[in-house]
Homo-oligomer: A and B are copies of this chain.
Amino acid sequence: MRALRVGLIGSGYMGKCHALAWNAVAPVHGDVARPELAMLAEANEDLARERAAALGFARATGDWRALVGDPDIDVVSITTPNAFHAEMAIAALAAGKHVWCEKPMAPTLAAAEAMAAAARASGRVAMLGYNYVQNPAVRLIASLIGDGTIGQVNHLRIEMDEDFMADPAAPFSWRSEAAAGYGALDDFAVHPLSLIHTLVGLPAQVFGEMAKPWPDRPSPAGRRAVETWDIAAALLRFASGATGTIQVSRTAWGRKGRIFVQLFGDRGTIAFDQERFNEVQLFVAEGPRATRGFRTILMTPDHPPFGAFTPGAGHQLGFNDLKTMECRALIGRIAGEPSVGIDFADGLAIERIVHAIARSFREGRWIASAG
């Protein structure tokens, strides 16, 4: 496959992340042509030029439509705020580009549905930035489930916790406005759901709960009522008969990037924590009882694609490396290879669950999430 020509829209945190991945994917993986960093679009041309220089893109534009319409671009990275994803992704797909769009898809389910429809219609590759599923540790977990090491999964629990909203004295911000969405549910729960989707498939029924640790926060005009929910939980029922829970909080003091996963199977248990994402905990009910225990498996070149990054067992991968893997997976999909990842159809299924959980919370009853 010849080198892909890349356009990047947005150059903030995730824009830089995509840029690093496009820069690194060829030297790291060694099996793809070095992508051509063709054009960067930002809110205005000056900023675009400055960021293009910093991030290594050849051309710059203040008009994202010019980028999307450029015939010398094959794939478009979309890293703008959620509200812009649908319009940009649909335009890019319509222009025949492959798309790599950050998650979550869009603020409304309708917009997400339009994105998925556009992807289906286009015949192009349209992936979302759920990089946690790329992790060699998560791939190991998937293979341990796939090969029956822990038997059939009959129960699972996932928690995702951070503390950036944990200070009750922090002033009211846009994150506490209803316009920002539900709160922790859409902010965080998509991550656990992307893992569930990848590892065991999405649930058939959900029951939701949401909570506000504090009813209001300080604002210049006095205390202002918080409109979003910083804590959420969902009970899950799967078609297989398995059950599970998701719990998320952005007010969990001391948790920084915790995603604690527990998968219980007929023959064993797997545990994993995103705060130590180079490790997998595995218990298998085999061998003499006196020497059974959870084993801590450190990631090494025995866990692809770890070895593409370093031959040094236990030498640790970082968050940006996950993004480079995601970029490699995207290139693989474009080349027709089967590749790990969450595409627009998967992403839509995930967002449907999120909305079903919210509806269940409002109605106080179980909701069928599928379809």
The interface of chain A, by Cβ under 8 A from chain B, is 13, 16-17, 19-20, 23-24, 26-28, 30, 34, 53-56, 140, 143-144, 149-151, 154-155, 157, 159, 162-164, 166-168, 207, 209, 211-215, 231, 233, 235, 241-243, 245, 247, 249, 251-258, 264-269, 275-278, 280, 282-285, 289-298, 300, 302-303, 309-321, 364-366
Alpha-carbon distance A205/B197, docked complex (angstroms): 31
Alpha-carbon distance A207/B210, docked complex (angstroms): 13
Q: How far is the CB of A83 from chain B (nearest CB, A)?
A: 20
Q: How far is the CB of A207 from chain B (nearest CB, A)?
A: 7
Query: Which chain B residues border A285 with CB–CB below 8 Å?
Result: 163, 166-167, 253-254
Alpha-carbon distance A54/B29, docked complex (angstroms): 9
**Contacts A20-B27, A257-B315, A290-B297 supplied; 19 other A-B pairs, CB < 8 Å:** A16-B28, A20-B24, A20-B28, A24-B24, A30-B54, A34-B54, A154-B231, A155-B251, A157-B159, A163-B285, A213-B266, A233-B235, A253-B264, A256-B314, A257-B313, A257-B316, A278-B316, A293-B298, A364-B365
Q: How far is the CB of A138 from chain B (nearest CB, A)?
A: 14
Name the residue on B nearest A235 (C-beta).
B209
State whether B291 touches A293 (Cβ < 8 A).
Answer: no
Q: List 21 A-B contacts (CB under 8 A).
A: A17-B310, A27-B56, A140-B290, A140-B291, A154-B214, A155-B252, A209-B243, A211-B241, A251-B264, A253-B284, A254-B269, A254-B283, A254-B294, A256-B298, A256-B315, A257-B314, A282-B291, A290-B302, A295-B296, A316-B316, A320-B321
State whether A34 touches B53 (Cβ < 8 A).
Answer: yes
What 5 pairs between A and B have smallest CB-CB spacing? A256-B314, A318-B318, A254-B283, A257-B314, A295-B295
Alpha-carbon distance A320/B30, docked complex (angstroms): 16
Alpha-carbon distance A140/B292, docked complex (angstroms): 12
Q: How far is the CB of A3 from chain B (nearest CB, A)?
A: 10
Alpha-carbon distance A242/B249, docked complex (angstroms): 13
Q: How far is the CB of A244 from chain B (nearest CB, A)?
A: 9
State whether B24 touches A313 (Cβ < 8 A).
Answer: no
Query: Which chain B residues border A155 with CB–CB below 8 Å?
Result: 211, 213, 231, 249, 251-252
Alpha-carbon distance A231/B155, docked complex (angstroms): 8
Alpha-carbon distance A18/B103, docked complex (angstroms): 32
State whether B312 touches A257 (Cβ < 8 A).
Answer: yes
Query: Which chain B residues border A283 with CB–CB below 8 Å?
Result: 253-254
Q: How far is the CB of A199 from chain B (nearest CB, A)?
A: 17
Alpha-carbon distance A102/B20, docked complex (angstroms): 24
Query: Which chain B residues border A241 with CB–CB below 8 Å?
Result: 211-212, 215
State whether B275 touches A252 (Cβ < 8 A).
Answer: no
Alpha-carbon distance A291/B284, docked complex (angstroms): 10
State whether A294 touches B296 (Cβ < 8 A).
Answer: yes
Name the residue on B nearest A301 (C-beta).
B289
State whether A16 touches B27 (Cβ < 8 A).
Answer: yes
Name the residue on B nearest A154 (C-beta).
B213
Alpha-carbon distance A290/B139, docked complex (angstroms): 11
Q: How far is the CB of A308 from chain B (nearest CB, A)?
A: 10
Alpha-carbon distance A66/B29, docked complex (angstroms): 29
State whether A211 touches B243 (Cβ < 8 A).
Answer: yes
Alpha-carbon distance A54/B275, docked complex (angstroms): 32
